[in-house]
């Protein structure tokens, strides 16, 4: 969440940052009003408490002096003030909850070097690697759902029978390819990132910590009986690994990598292309995440982007990197680079990784702090993450890009060690 002290001390900069996102500033105005009211109420309540304590001391002294009538009069006055204090305290709590609710819903401020813009059309293309729209043969222009059905490696029809629309099922070599992609992404990152297998179901405050709640409640799967949520990404549990803990600066940065299933309702996907693997409710993903100091953040951001892009490049997939504008970055992000792969069968650029720096926004929600080496006080951490590899769209682009004239799939060299049993005989992979 945003720093309330920044809102108090420099409201103009906060207003300007939110305006860059295209945010309605009415919520910020209301927050400023409520914060002022809360401070006034707190001061009045504390003054009453001090007065009540003073009266209590006077009552005690009067009783010691055997002046019961005077003590009784002061006790009556104290009881009246006590009711006022109780009412003020209740109002303080009510206003404090309203302040927190607005803070939890306000987005992060875009970084200074985040490009200006109102939406997707204003994103900046940083680089495009090896794209030649006219360089694809007809056999590569077949959509992955047709290729998958022909080869028996993708079974959408039965997945829908089992679970409903926007669920898919991989079979045989197709399932092995999912496993191989995830294992490759893990193996490429465990040199520096600690491997974690976090729970798939988390508590409400874990989703609040990353900013997925309360704003995006309609996108999440909620198990109401147990008040647990299915994670939309491993970012959620990884961010909270050190929630409410105090780390030493000497132990930073902390880096984690995790392979999990991810669940998203995709409630806002009406009108979007949902065929095949383009938009699904459940998918496998390998996430890399880092916690660091503000000074370490820029290098960590570049590091995560480099690792994610390097893996896509080594899989032989045409891709591009976008610097997202202020109007298109995620709610919690300050700066985001998207990696998109080109899928020739559907003739689309598909986002496969968002590499984001969240400044201290998530860390304030999760109470992630560190003790500086100077030993003076504590500071708020910065969080960063990105998809090392998200399966569905990478799987789709790989199957379309590497389809051969005879209809089989040529497996890129980095994946071959994981798929040896499927590279022999007359199977779908070559």
Helix, strand, coil distribution of the chain in percent, nearest 5: 45, 20, 35
Using alpha carbons, list the distances in angstroms from residue 393 to 71, 318, 336, 351, 353.
78, 13, 19, 8, 10
Q: Dihedral (C-alpha) 69, 75, 81, 84: value to the nearest 10 degrees?
A: -120
Three-state SS for 108-137 is: CCCCCCCCCCCCHHHCEEEEEECCCHHHCC
Tokens representing 387 are: 């998809």
Give SS3 for 258. strand
Could you identify the residue written with the tokens 């197709």? 174
Q: Return the number of other C-beta atoms located less than 10 Å from residue 146's C-beta.
A: 14
Q: Return the number of other C-beta atoms located less than 10 Å from residue 294's C-beta.
A: 12
* Per-residue pLDDT, 176: 98
What structural domains does the chain harbor? 4-105 (1.10.287.40), 120-422 (3.30.930.10)
* Per-residue pLDDT, 62: 81
Tokens representing 215 are: 């704003």
106-143 burial, b at 16+ Cβ within 10 Å, e below that, comes to bbbbbbeebbebeeeeebeeeeeeeeeeeebeeebebb
**Dihedral sign computed on CA atoms, order 320, 324, 327, 328:** positive
157-173 burial, b at 16+ Cβ within 10 Å, e below that, comes to eebeeeeeebbbbbebb
Q: Dihedral (C-alpha) 88, 93, 95, 97: value to the nearest 10 degrees?
A: -170
Could you identify the residue written with the tokens 């976090």? 198
Using alpha carbons, list the distances in angstroms from residue 314 to 27, 115, 181, 317.
46, 29, 12, 8
246-266 burial, b at 16+ Cβ within 10 Å, e below that, comes to ebebeebbbbbbbbbebbbbe
Q: Which of 282, 42, 43 is nearest to 167 (CA)?
A: 282
User: Which segments of the chain have a pLDDT < 70?
Assistant: 268-271
* CA–CA distance, 312 with 315 (Å, rounded to integer): 5
Express each pLDDT in 158-193 by its tens digit: 999 999 999 999 999 999 999 999 999 999 999 999
* Per-residue pLDDT, 267: 77
* Per-residue pLDDT, 65: 86
Q: Dihedral (C-alpha) 420, 424, 427, 430: value to the nearest 10 degrees?
A: 70
Residues 6+ apart with CB under 8 A from 135: none
- DSSP tag of 377: S
Express each pLDDT in 52-91 by its tens digit: 889 888 878 888 888 888 878 888 888 888 899 999 999 9
Measured at the alpha carbon of residue 266, what is the angle toward residues 260 and 272, in degrees to the nearest 5?
A: 125
185-201 burial, b at 16+ Cβ within 10 Å, e below that, comes to bbebbeeebeebebebe
Measured at the alpha carbon of residue 366, what is the angle toward residues 293 and 192, in degrees to the nearest 5?
A: 45
Tokens representing 297 are: 């953040």
* CA–CA distance, 189 with 308 (Å, rounded to integer): 10
Q: Are 228 and 201 in contact (CB under 8 A)?
A: yes
Q: Are 348 and 276 in contact (CB under 8 A)?
A: no
């Amino acid at each position: 969440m945003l720093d309330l002290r920044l809102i108090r001390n420099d409201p103009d900069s906060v207003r300007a940052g939110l305006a860059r996102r295209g945010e309605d500033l009415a919520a910020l105005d209301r927050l400023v009003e409520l914060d002022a009211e809360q401070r006034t109420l707190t001061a009045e309540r504390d003054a009453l408490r001090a007065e009540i304590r003073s009266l209590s001391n006077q009552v005690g002294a009067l009783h010691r002096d055997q002046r019961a009538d005077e003590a009784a009069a002061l006790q009556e006055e104290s009881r009246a003030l006590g009711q006022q204090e109780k009412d003020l305290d209740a109002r303080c709590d009510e206003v404090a909850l309203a302040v927190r609710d607005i803070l939890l819903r306000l987005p992060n401020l875009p970084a200074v070097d985040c490009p200006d813009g109102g939406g997707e059309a204003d994103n900046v293309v940083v680089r495009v690697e090896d794209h030649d729209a006219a360089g694809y043969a007809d056999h590569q222009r077949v959509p992955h759902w047709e290729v998958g059905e022909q080869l028996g490696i993708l079974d959408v029809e039965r997945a829908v029978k089992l679970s409903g629309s926007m669920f898919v099922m991989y079979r045989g070599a197709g399932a092995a390819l999912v496993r191989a992609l995830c294992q490759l992404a893990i193996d490429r990152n465990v040199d520096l990132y600690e491997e974690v297998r976090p729970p798939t179901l988390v508590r409400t405050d874990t989703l609040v910590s990353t900013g997925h709640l309360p704003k995006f409640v309609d996108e999440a799967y909620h198990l109401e009986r147990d008040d647990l949520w299915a994670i939309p990404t491993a970012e959620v549990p990884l961010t909270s690994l050190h929630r409410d803990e105090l780390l030493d600066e000497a132990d930073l940065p902390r880096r984690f990598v995790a392979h999990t299933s991810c669940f998203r309702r995709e409630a806002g996907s009406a009108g979007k292309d949902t065929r095949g693997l383009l938009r699904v409710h459940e998918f496998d993903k390998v996430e890399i995440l880092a916690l660091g100091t503000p000074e370490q953040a820029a290098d960590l951001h570049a590091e995560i982007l480099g690792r994610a892009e390097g893996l896509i490049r080594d899989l032989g997939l045409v891709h591009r990197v976008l610097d997202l504008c202020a109007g298109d970055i995620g709610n919690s992000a300050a700066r985001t680079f998207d990696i998109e792969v080109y899928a020739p069968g559907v003739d689309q650029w598909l986002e496969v990784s968002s590499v984001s720096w969240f400044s201290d926004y998530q860390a304030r929600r999760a109470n992630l702090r560190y003790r500086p080496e100077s030993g003076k006080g504590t500071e708020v951490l910065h969080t960063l993450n990105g998809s090392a590899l998200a399966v569905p769209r990478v799987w789709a682009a790989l199957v379309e890009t590497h389809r051969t004239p005879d209809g089989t799939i040529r497996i890129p060299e980095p994946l071959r060690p994981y798929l040896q049993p499927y590279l022999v005989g007359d199977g779908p992979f070559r």
